[in-house]
Amino acid sequence: MVRGLPPATALRGRAAAAVRWCTCRRVAVAVCLGNLVAALLVARALYAPGTFTSSPRRGEVKCSKEQMRWVEESIRIRRAAEPVELIEAVKKLRKAFEREAKRRKELPLELKQKVSHEILQRLRDLGENRNTTQQREAIESWRVEMLKSIRSSSTHNLSNFSLTSEESRILKRALEFNWRMLLEDIGLWIPPTVYHIEHDDKLENELEEEEIIPGPPLPPECNAELHTDYGGTAVRWGLTHHKESAADCCQACIDQAKRAKPGALRCNIWVYCPSEYGCYSPDKYEHKHQECWLKQADHPKLNFKDRYSEPYRDSHPTAPVVVPWMSGVISP
């Protein structure tokens, strides 16, 4: 009881103070205690042993014994199917390439220039009108001579190259083991020699297949010869004289000889182009399909027969292998 105040007033003051204390501090303390208890219960539920043992954790999948057996079997089959020999071969090749890369040292630029100058000088001395085989042989002989010089002067520098011992060792290895790479580095490439060999695959005593001549059959007096070109003085130029067939060309020669005036040239040779792609001739003209040349010669001579020779084709690169013309000498 407070002195100086009536008893009822003192009670009301204490009640008001109690109410203020309950509404501020005690409410806050009660809420904090409640949160702490709830946090402890949640932590116990999460981390207590035996909790959630019936369900797998995140990221884990429970498998049966049969499924585990399938997984192990698939792993075994995959390992058995691995190309072990191929993998080992690749590893060996990789090691070999690594060893080769370590052994191979890049030639200095100045040394490359000296090598290229020496090789070019050897090719100039060889001459311009040489084939690739002779050029390759000349370069190979230079390589052999250079190796002999390096081996014979192992303790002294080469007089022409003025090489140090280290440069001599690098060049010797390049000439012995990396010759092709050295040629590529200096930009030298010689095309390989191509040998053309014609094989006769026909059996012995095998009959040759007869070629079909378009048009009507030729009479016997035409004496037609395939892949043949006879020479003679032109009675009628074939550039402006075309016939549908070889028989028509032969008949044109016979008719011209009958109608020729006394003292004029009389046709006794006909030359026809049966190829749809035209026929080759060494002159400057383009000879087309169905050209019919009428010629005269007292003693007919062959220009070409069956095939053009290799020396002729070497000097005439556009010449085909087989003579495309057909011709004949009229019987008297």
What's the pLDDT at 207? 44
What's the pLDDT at 239? 92
What's the pLDDT at 117? 86
Q: What's the helix, strand, coil split of the chain in %, to 5?
A: 50, 10, 40
> Residue ranges of the domains in the chain?
104-186, 220-329
What's the pLDDT at 263? 87
How far apart are the C-alpha atoms of 288 and 231, rounded to whole Å? 18
Taking the CA atoms of 227, 233, 238 and 242 in sequence, report the sign of the dihedral they define.
Answer: negative
Consecutive sets of 10 residues in the chain, 332 residues long: mean pLDDT of each?
49 55 68 78 66 52 80 83 83 81 66 83 80 83 84 56 71 77 77 63 55 83 93 92 93 92 92 92 90 93 91 90 93 82
Report whether 182 contacts 105 (CB < 8 A): no
Query: Going by C-beta distance under 8 Å and a sequence separation of 6 or more, which residues neighbour residue 294?
Result: 234, 235, 236, 238, 241, 252, 253, 256, 267, 269, 270
- Kindly report the backbone phi and psi dihedral angles of residue 21, in degrees, each rounded to the nearest multiple of 5, phi listed first: -70, -40
Which pair of tokens denotes residue 126? 């060889």
* 250, 288, 326 from 267: Cα distances, Å: 10, 21, 16
Residue corresponding to tokens 């071969």: 89
- Per this entry, what is the length of the chain? 332
Report whether 292 contacts 264 (CB < 8 A): no
Which pair of tokens denotes residue 274? 């049966």
Q: Which CATH superfamily is domain 220-329 in?
A: Hepatocyte Growth Factor (3.50.4.10)
What is the residue type of 108? Answer: P
* 30, 50, 96, 184 from 146: Cα distances, Å: 103, 85, 28, 18
